[in-house]
Amino acid sequence: MKTTNQFDQQKETILFVDSREDHKNAFVDLLKNTEYQVIWLENSFKAIQWLKNHGAQSVLLMVVDGHIKPLSSFQTYDYIKNELDLNVPVLVVHEQDDTPDYSEYPGLDYIKRNNNEENLNKIKEIASQQLEFNGYNPKAYSLNYLREVSDNNEEFIASSMALFLNSVSDRMNDMKKAISNQKYKEVSEIAHNIKPSFAMIENEAGRTLCDTMAHSAKEEEMFEMVNKLNTLFFELKEQLQTDFPAYDAL
């Protein structure tokens, strides 16, 4: 997770609109093991101007303090929807004893301050829906697990990705040799060996292919599966080398 006022259009972005830095810090901490980019804006006018400059396609959702000024949270939502004609989901942060009813207003919902796990789940759900609405093609991998186990250590993450590419690349070469010689048992063993690598980066397609080859695939299905996995890995490698240009090891 990255928090900044410098917008990176390649990142999945959440706008956080709140005048208080301690509220911003708490929100950043909530999202620390995600890959969302948080843009902090201190009032509703700045949020509206940001959307005018960048458009709805650049943001997944806006999280707004229930006491934001000069426009209230509802006025901000109304202006974005009806004046700017933008489809941006708005989550209003309310205190624990507030129970607003936004059921009549599409794209407007609320979370309660300090309900961390529930809030995170709702944010992820809305973000996922907005990605689908925008026609976004999600990355073939996720760094969430690596961020969690390393406490966001970028050097550890980069070295882990380099290790993933180098080790899986070698094993894929071994797998292609094995399938060309019809050594199906060896193909299964290699698939079993590299399955955790795909699981580590949350590439479900690669993990599933490996699991199937390791445990249940018929011999006549193996060749096509190896080709699928090889194509998937090639595309994944290209994406990683694009996303990590500073690391020669990739």
**CATH number, domain containing residue 177:** 1.20.120
Residues 178 and 155 in one domain: yes
> Prior bond to 70 cis, omega within 30?
yes
Question: E-strand spans in the chain?
Answer: 2-4, 13-17, 37-41, 61-65, 90-94, 108-112
Split at pLDDT 50, 70, 90, the class of 143 is: confident
Percentage of the chain surpassing pLDDT 90? 58
Residues 27 and 129 in one domain: yes
The rounded distance, in Å, linking the Cα atoms of 166 and 179 is 20
Sign of CA dihedral 152, 133, 203, 6: negative
Indicate the residue type of 248.
Answer: D
Residues 166 and 122 in one domain: no
Residues 47 and 121 in one domain: yes
Residues 22 and 110 in one domain: yes
pLDDT score for 137: 53
Domain membership flag for residue 248: no
- State the total domains in the chain: 2
Residues 160, 136, 43, 114: what is their CA dihedral angle, to the nearest 10 degrees?
-60
Residues 172 and 122 in one domain: no
Residues 48 and 27 in one domain: yes
Range among 50-64, 90-104, 175-189 rated most confident: 175-189
Per-residue pLDDT of 7-46, as tens digits, reads 665 578 999 999 999 999 999 999 988 878 999 999 999 9
> For residue 222, what are the contacts with CB-CB under 8 A and spacing of at least 6?
179, 184, 187, 213
- Structural domain that includes position 54: 2-133
Domain membership flag for residue 120: yes
**Is pLDDT at 116 greater than 60 in this prediction?**
yes
Residues 163 and 74 in one domain: no
Instruction: Give yes or no for a contact between 192 and 214, defined as CB atoms under 8 angstroms apart.
Output: yes
Residues 129 and 7 in one domain: yes
Residues 128 and 149 in one domain: no
Q: Which domain-ending residue is among 78, 101, 133?
A: 133
The separation between CA 33 and the C-alpha centre of its own chain, rounded to angstroms, equals 10
pLDDT, greater one: 229 or 250: 229
